[in-house]
């Protein structure tokens, strides 16, 4: 029997939280990778709203952001004809499997190792149980779809490793159900650093908007942020993560947006200064945002709602089938 090509394609799954503005780090570390993958793989991209509510959200704003994240996916180049786009809370199997993994696979000792929780939880006075349990829900997201590859920025690799541990433990203790996924991280761009502090990743939860370029920043504002970005001592334009972390970060952003590799950029700026690099990068970023925002503004809420509904309807049977097999193994079917 001849195999249908569709059957041998690997499955890719990833998601973004609708919990704040998305920034250039999200685009370069995650979304641009997704776009490259959609021609080659079965791609499933989720808006993880249940993850977003692990910290308090304003309900009206959350509803708005769910649609906006989908518009960001579309403007980045995700094609809903090729990839499935859906909202996590539309498929109840996510929370069901998460509870089951909480009981059957996840251990306190696993979750206590999660650095993201240590960083995010430590800053707050009152921390939800959901924030602690966040990686288990993420494991459920991934495992429901027999995922092979999870394209993420490097801050999420530990969560994908945990997913593998939970899947292997379940398979060992109850019988084979889950495929073991792998994280896919860009060689360059897996960790875009803050413009105001190149020792920390660009983050929407940064205390100052000077840290990040939001995908919805006006091109003028973005150009200003680039020009005000901190630089390193010396004047040479050279990729050197130890001695020149700020300039290296600007070079990575420039290279990914322009398609010019870093050594070529170094040559181009050999006899030039930081100011020249910043001016040209500001131009490049503004151009990128201008084109991005034209696409972003071209989608209506109605279109987006339709895409989310179609996506969930298409993919729900896969999730339900995995959940059925899990329940069967546990004796609760």
Name the site residues for ligand LTN (rule: CB under 6 A).
Answer: 13-17, 48, 51, 138, 141-142, 150, 152, 156, 159
- Whichever of 182 and 310 has its CB closer to ligand ATP, that residue is 182
SS (H, E, C) 45-81: EEECHHHHCCCCCCHHHHHHHHHHHHHHHHHHCCCCC
262/267 Cα distance (integer angstroms): 9
Q: How far is the CB of 227 from ligand LTN (least distance, A)?
A: 29
Q: Is the Cβ of residue 154 or residue 280 nearer to ligand ATP in the bound state? A: 154
CA atoms within 13 A on the CB side of 175: 7
Which residue lies nearer to ligand ATP by CB, 158 or 231? 158
Measured CA to CA, the distance from residue 301 to residue 123 in angstroms comes to 35
- Determine the Cα–Cα distance for residues 263 and 258; give it in Å rounded to an integer: 13
The token duo for 1 is 């029997």
Q: DSSP letter at 201? A: B
The distance of closest approach from Cβ of residue 154 to ligand ATP in the complex, given in angstroms and rounded to an integer, is: 7
Cα–Cα distance, 46 to 65 (Å, whole number):
13
Q: Which residues are catalytic?
A: 120, 201, 204
CB of residue 157 to ligand ATP, shortest distance in Å: 8
The residue (of 284 and 323) whose beta carbon lies closer to ligand ATP is 284
Residue 135 CB, shortest distance to ligand ATP, in Å, is: 12
Place of tokens 């249940």: 50
- Nearest residue to ligand ATP by CB is 29
Residues that bind ligand ATP (CB under 6 A): 16-17, 25-26, 29-30, 152-153, 155-156, 190-192, 201-205
Q: Give the HSE-up count for residue 223: Cα atoms under 13 Å, Cβ half-sphere.
A: 13
Residue 67 bridge partners (DSSP): none
| Residue 181, binding choice from ligand LTN, ligand ATP, none, Cβ under 5 to 8 Å by partner class | none
Name the minimum Å distance from CB 272 to ligand LTN.
Answer: 36
Contact 154, 33 (CB under 8 A): no
What minimum distance in Å lies between the beta carbon of 15 and ligand ATP? 7
> From the list ligand ATP, ligand LTN, none, which binds 315 (C-beta under 5 to 8 Å, kind-based)?
none
**Which entry of ligand ATP, ligand LTN, none binds 263, CB below 5 to 8 A by partner kind?**
none
Beta carbon nearer to ligand ATP, 204 or 238: 204
Contacts 24+ apart (CB under 8 A), 242-246: 245/193, 245/198, 245/199, 246/193, 246/198
Q: Which does 13 bind (CB under 5 to 8 A by kind): ligand ATP, ligand LTN, none?
A: ligand LTN
By beta-carbon proximity to ligand LTN, the closer residue of 152 and 202 is: 152
* Residue 292 binding: pick among ligand LTN, ligand ATP, none (C-beta 5-8 Å cut-off by kind): none
225 touches 213 (CB < 8 A): yes
Please report how many Cα atoms fall inside a 13 Å half-sphere around the Cα of residue 75, on the Cβ side: 23
Report d(CA 213, CA 22) in Å as an integer: 9
192 binds, among ligand ATP, ligand LTN, none (CB under 5 to 8 A by kind): ligand ATP
The label of the residue with tokens 């708005």 reads 64
């Amino acid at each position: 029997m001849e195999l249908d090509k569709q059957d041998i394609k690997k499955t890719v799954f990833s998601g973004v939280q609708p919990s704040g503005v998305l920034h250039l780090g999200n685009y370069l570390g995650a979304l641009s990778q997704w776009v490259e993958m959609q021609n080659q793989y079965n791609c499933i991209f989720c808006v993880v709203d249940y993850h977003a509510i692990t910290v308090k959200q304003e309900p009206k704003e959350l509803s708005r952001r769910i649609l906006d994240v989908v518009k960001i996916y579309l403007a980045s180049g995700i094609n809903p004809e090729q990839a499935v786009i859906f909202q996590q809370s539309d498929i109840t199997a996510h929370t069901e499997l998460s509870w089951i993994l909480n009981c059957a696979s996840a251990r306190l000792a696993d979750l206590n190792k999660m650095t993201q929780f240590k960083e995010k939880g430590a800053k707050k006075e009152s921390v939800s149980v959901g924030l602690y349990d966040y990686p288990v829900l993420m494991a459920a997201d991934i495992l429901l779809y027999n995922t092979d590859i999870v394209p993420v920025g490097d801050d999420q690799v530990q969560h994908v490793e945990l997913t593998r541990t939970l899947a292997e433990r379940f398979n060992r203790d109850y019988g084979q159900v889950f495929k073991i996924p792998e994280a896919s991280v860009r060689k360059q761009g897996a960790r875009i650093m803050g413009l105001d502090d190149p020792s920390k990743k660009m983050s929407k939860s940064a205390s100052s908007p000077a840290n990040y370029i939001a995908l919805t920043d006006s091109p003028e504002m973005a150009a200003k942020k680039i020009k005000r970005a901190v630089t390193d001592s010396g004047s040479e334009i050279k990729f050197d993560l130890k001695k020149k972390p700020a300039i290296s970060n600007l070079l990575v952003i420039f290279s990914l947006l322009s398609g010019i590799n870093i050594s070529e950029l170094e040559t181009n700026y050999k006899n030039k200064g930081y100011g020249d690099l910043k001016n040209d990068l500001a131009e490049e970023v503004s151009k990128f945002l201008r084109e991005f925002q034209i696409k972003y503004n071209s989608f209506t809420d109605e279109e987006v709602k339709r895409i989310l509904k179609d996506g969930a309807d298409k993919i729900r049977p896969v999730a339900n089938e995995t959940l059925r097999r899990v329940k069967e193994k546990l004796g609760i079917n």
